[in-house]
Amino acid sequence: MLSIARVKDISYYHNLPTEDYYREAEAAPTRWLGSGAHVLGLAGEVDSHAFLSIFSGYSTDGRPLTQNAGKEKRCPGWDLTFSAPKSVSVLWGIADHELRTELEACFSHAVSATFALLERDAAWTRKGKGGIIAEPTRIVAATFRHGTSRALDPNLHMHCLVANVSVGHDGMTRALDSRQLYKWKMALGVAFRVPFAEQLEERLGLRIVRDRDSFRLRDVPTSICHGFSKRSQTIRESMRLQGRTSARAAEFAALDTRQQKSEPSHDLLHETWQTAATKLGFGPNHAIQVLERSKRAPITQSAVETQIASAIDRLTSTRSHFTKRVLIRELGTTLMGQSVSYATMLAEVDRQLQHCRDIVHLPEVGCERYYTTVNVLAHEADLLANCDRLHRTQTFGVSQLTIDRVLAKFPGIQRRPEQVAAVNHVLEPGALKTLSGMPGTGKTFVLNAAREAWQNAGYTVIGAALAGRAARELQSQAGIRSETIAKTLRDVGAAPLQPWKHHARQLLRTARGRPTYRYDPVRFNDKTVLVIDEMGMVGTAESHRLVAHAVKCGAKVVMVGDPQQLSPINSTGVFRHLLSRYPTVRLTHIERQQDPKDVEAIHDLSRGDHARALAQYRDRGLVTIAEDRRSAQLKLVSDWCTHGGLYNPADHLILVNTNTDGLEINRRCQEAREAAGLIHPERFATIRRKHRLEDGTTRIVREDIHVGDRVMFLERSRALAVENGNLGLVVGYQAESKILSVRLDVSDRSSQTVHVPVTKYQALTLGYAGTTHKFQGATVPHAYVLVGGSMQSREMTYTQLSRAKYSTRLYADQLDTGPDLSRLVAQLDRSESQPLAHELLAQRPIEKQRSQPSLSPPTQNLDHSRGLDFQL
């Protein structure tokens, strides 16, 4: 793996008696790395004087290399730590000297190969006024190989300290743009593991198997690795107690649990490890035996080409464009353990990006070139062309008399000029209309009035939304028959024989005594108005298919949503682009929130004034900052109980960013209601289902759902007539037949009770808390929001803080907020919105220029006359 941390105090890394970590006796000899080091005359082993000078911003003869050299608040550099997989570290720890040397050589080779990629593609500096010009540069780094964790387990890793001094191709020394290091972090981690695995197989004959996005040695037992993982266990326990799961939290936990490192001799450590491993059944003799394996032939160049094409297909199925680093990460993870040549992989990536006819080069954004495919551009072009056709089709007009009669029935709308304008806009002639509105501005009320006008004019109105919950609310509140987009696309794209197949299935169900279903598919024609709700969450692929069907059948499409809320889960959104492409109306008068300060805060978020918005909540005592994540969760549940959630959970919604947070908070809410006697402890059903973790893996979780619990349905079931996202209260349980009786919320289906056979349907979870994606479009009286973590973004926060009518309370920990909420504000500046490939293709990046590297060699003369730049 690869971790990156900012160097805060360079003296910590220096050879001091009490703080010696990287320069201790057992560490391998250090060395300078990077072409920038070579230009500065730094080579071989790192000596103390040169190390302190460079990382303080000075040359070895005391001349400043940056404008702020020697300043107290200057960032000295960054610590990039490359760590071997645990199985490799264990093998290294118990091996003899010869094998250890070979393993170290493989490790060092992989670090050097990765550093070459870093310097070629992720090393950037900025120059000009305000850093307007981005320029590739050369890096100066000092490496320290080390072999133990602080718990004295075998842990082969290398600290690569990158100095905040770089040497440009024009010979000038400047500070490094560290943002590119962090952007490349995941790709560089994969790029390190690929050549490391290759070296282990090629040089030593070790058998490699893929382990998620990393690898492990097949013949080193997992039990041995666990036995030498005391440090990892300490970090995991610290994270468990704090309620944290993210990679960033793991780094903080590592710092928080770090002990002063003792310094036993190198030989004594290996003897201790060998003795311990022998007791565990895997001693030095076993370590030698794992080398006696036949080598696998590396996969061919053509196979790598095929894998690259597959990786690009996977990437472009969920986004409109990609970068080289994203492709390297995707491809390297796929090829892990397949005996791939690292050099071949990188060469083929470059060759395909440069010469493949299916790949289209997009303009650079910042310091990265973006790419897309001919197929993606064709789909986008087809979608936009169809939208243009609909926009030019001046049909589906409704007479002004009909509009006036309908508006007379909606006095609330008549009092809002912008809502009247919205109704007139969607009802005027034109087969494509867009309507955007901030949360709680009455978009559904507008659609209700428009629906009646369309129906009075002889049109059939149908609705579609990405989530089942949004489709239900559109149907219940606007009177528009609505289905999910997935079902709508299945129905309109069904084969001619589909009705006969349906009837045959129903005959079979009748013969087996099962319930039957009426065939009632969604159909488009030239009298159909299709309303797509929550359009901001709909991706390009779904939009393309829906609009294509509308054009084919002569239907009208009305797209409604808010581009500032959550973006599509699996694709680049098209709604923002269409709003700028065609005339539209935007609703901005918020009616949902009753407190004017809440309304003001939401407008602040909409404008991007995140600091002011959060300050609004903080100054009213609505922000709780706890010491750690677990304490924040406990305080949230305590406030939820105090303010009414204990007795009326339906009116008190808890929003979280991750499924893991949801599981923990749901469990604590359940415990609180059980302690209050509100659920039956002896009447429960046990649910076992797959739970997706934040790292993309899954595990089986168990939840006991009691009578009196609030639950959420996670999958659509025609047999139960429930949708993904339905909420309800468990009102009964038949232990013999294992059937839960759930009374659905009024907004879901008029308090209807459904009977769930838990032996057949296990897609249930406690419903006190849920992810924000589940509740986009929901309106509740009160909301409690656990903010922070890697998923927090501008769109996420905007959606979270606009759900509740009366009160919204925020909870976080010090790790996520930082001093004065500054760290949380910085997270809110991050947007998940992605432009279309067509938009990037049309861009001309004037504001962020990139200079070309000079072909002439740098001179050796210093020039102190140029502000931030210094000539070598």
Place of tokens 């539209």: 584
Tokens at residue 826, please? 């910085």
* 51-104 pLDDT, tens digit each: 999 999 999 999 999 888 888 888 999 999 999 999 999 999 999 989 999 999
Q: DSSP readout, 440-496? A: TS-HHHHHHHHHHHHHHTT-EEEEEESSHHHHHHHHHHH--EEEEHHHHHHHHT--T
Cα Dmax for the chain: 94
* DSSP-assigned beta bridge partners for residue 586: 436
With H, G, I as helix, E, B as strand and everything else as coil, classify residue 386. Answer: helix
- pLDDT value of residue 42: 94
- pLDDT value of residue 776: 82
DSSP state of 206: P
CATH fold for the domain made of 301-376: Arc Repressor Mutant, subunit A (1.10.10)
- pLDDT value of residue 751: 58
Dist. CA 250–CA 127, nearest whole Å: 35
* DSSP-assigned beta bridge partners for residue 473: none
- pLDDT value of residue 483: 92
Tokens at residue 828, please? 């809110």
Tokens at residue 174, please? 């400047």
CATH fold for the domain made of 393-587: Rossmann fold (3.40.50)
Q: Low-confidence residues of the chain, pLDDT below 50? A: 16-27, 231-240, 248-259, 748-750, 845-872
Residue ranges per structural domain of the chain: 2-228+264-289, 301-376, 393-587, 596-828
Query: CA separation (Å) from 611 to 208, 593, 623, 832, 867?
Result: 49, 20, 13, 19, 32
Give the helix/strand (H/E) hosting 733.
Answer: strand 727-734
* DSSP-assigned beta bridge partners for residue 482: 463
> At CB < 8 A and 24+ separation, what contacts does 257-266 make?
258/150, 259/150, 259/151, 261/21, 261/24, 261/148, 261/150, 262/152, 263/20, 263/24, 263/25, 263/26, 264/26, 264/152, 265/25, 265/26, 266/25, 266/26, 266/147
